[in-house]
Amino acid sequence: MNPLIPQERHHPDEGPGDGTLAVRAGLPEPVKHEPTLPGPVFAAHFHLPGEPTGPYTYGRDENPTWTHLERAIGTLEAPGETGVETVVFASGMAAISAVLLSQLSAGDAVVLPTDGYQALPLLHEQLRAYGIEVRTAPTGGDAQLNVLDGARLLWIETPSNPGLDVCDIRRLVAAAHAGGALVAVDNTLATPLGQRPLELGADFSVASDTKGMTGHGDVLLGHVSCRDPLRAAEVRRWRKIVGAIPGPMEAWLAHRSLATLQLRVDRQCATALELARVLAERPDVTGLRHPGLPEDPSHAIAARQMRRFGSVISFELADRARAERFLEELRLVDDATSFGGVRSSAERRGRWGGDAVAEGFVRFSVGAEDPEDLIADVLRALDTARDAVG
């Protein structure tokens, strides 16, 4: 598939296309008079006479609604494979924490990105408190290779949030595995339709499904997918210990939302690239980043490993005042955190602290609005902010 044309048709001999996979993933075998996607199962316990065997015993361990969702996500993470296991969590941070804390012990070393999600430094503190060595390096230039020697786990976030740098997953995986390290990839920004870390050799594919996977800004969820059943069991055991389980309603809403994943992602990615091209012509916009732009520093690597370039754009305006006025003037864009939703959102990322960004740095998440309307709104807001603030 040409990443610049995500809606390009596939040949049936290649297997089901992304839209077909998204619509059908995780559905049970049809039963007469039953819904195609069964409703959420609300149960703290299940009938369990005799010995405690079988798939469903207690609500903290398993739930049929999770099972359908986990199978669906596994289908999207590795189409055509039967050995991939997925574990869903109450949030993306719960999924991230489960991998790190189930795979690392005192005396181990972990390599994390310096430019990753802003909650990662909170994990740094906790990992160090457990006697784990934390090493950091930027995503760009595959810089994590420089601090990999002797590490137990390499954590990759590509594209990075919010700076949108990209690293070569295959290269980092090869080096990590050669040194005996596991590799986890935070795939939140790309989604499995944009990038499949397991196919690129990673041991774990992790995501906050709060973002693009569910896409409506109304569900907190995360997941971990991996091929190794022992690793999956360790992650699942951690979920049981800490109780970081999703509610059945959230899991059902997430599964329902997956059916439109390809429709949403194609629209959002195409509009994001179109908007990025327009912003590239603006003298008042600097530091523009989007992996789909041929002139972007990450484009060459992204084009080799990504199937779609994502719905997020980052750029800088002159200062804090200009950025805040720009956000105030937008009519079709919510001033909100998070990304990947059907409604466009944007924020001045520096307001949170924790990210090494300029005061005028804007992270823009493109939604499913008509491209012409969205672009017109952005250009009008930029003009107004420029004329008002100077």
d(CA 117, CA 112): 10
> 28 - beta bridge partners?
none
Pick the closest to residue 331 from 371, 366, 374, 277 (CA basis).
374
For residue 123, the 8-state DSSP code is: H
d(CA 72, CA 256): 10
For residues 42, 48, 53 and 54, what is the CA-based torsion angle, rounded to 10 degrees? -40
Residues marked active site are found at: 60, 117, 186, 211
d(CA 226, CA 185): 11
Backbone angles phi, psi at 379, to 5 degrees: -65, -40
What angle (nearest 5°) sits at the alpha carbon of residue 336, between those of residues 157 and 314?
45
What angle (nearest 5°) sits at the alpha carbon of residue 302, between those of residues 296 and 303?
100
User: Which residue blocks in the chain are alpha helix, DSSP H?
Assistant: 18-24, 64-77, 92-103, 120-129, 169-178, 229-242, 248-258, 261-279, 299-305, 320-329, 371-389
d(CA 27, CA 273): 33
Q: 347 in helix, strand or coil?
A: strand
Pick the closest to residue 227 from 245, 209, 205, 207 (CA basis).
205
Residue 214 in tokens: 């569910």
d(CA 98, CA 233): 11
For residue 353, CA distances in Å to 91, 118, 156, 343, 361 come to: 21, 8, 21, 25, 12
For residue 137, CA distances in Å to 67, 99, 119, 134, 168 come to: 37, 19, 16, 10, 14
The amino acid sitting at 282 is R
Residue 357 in tokens: 């960004």
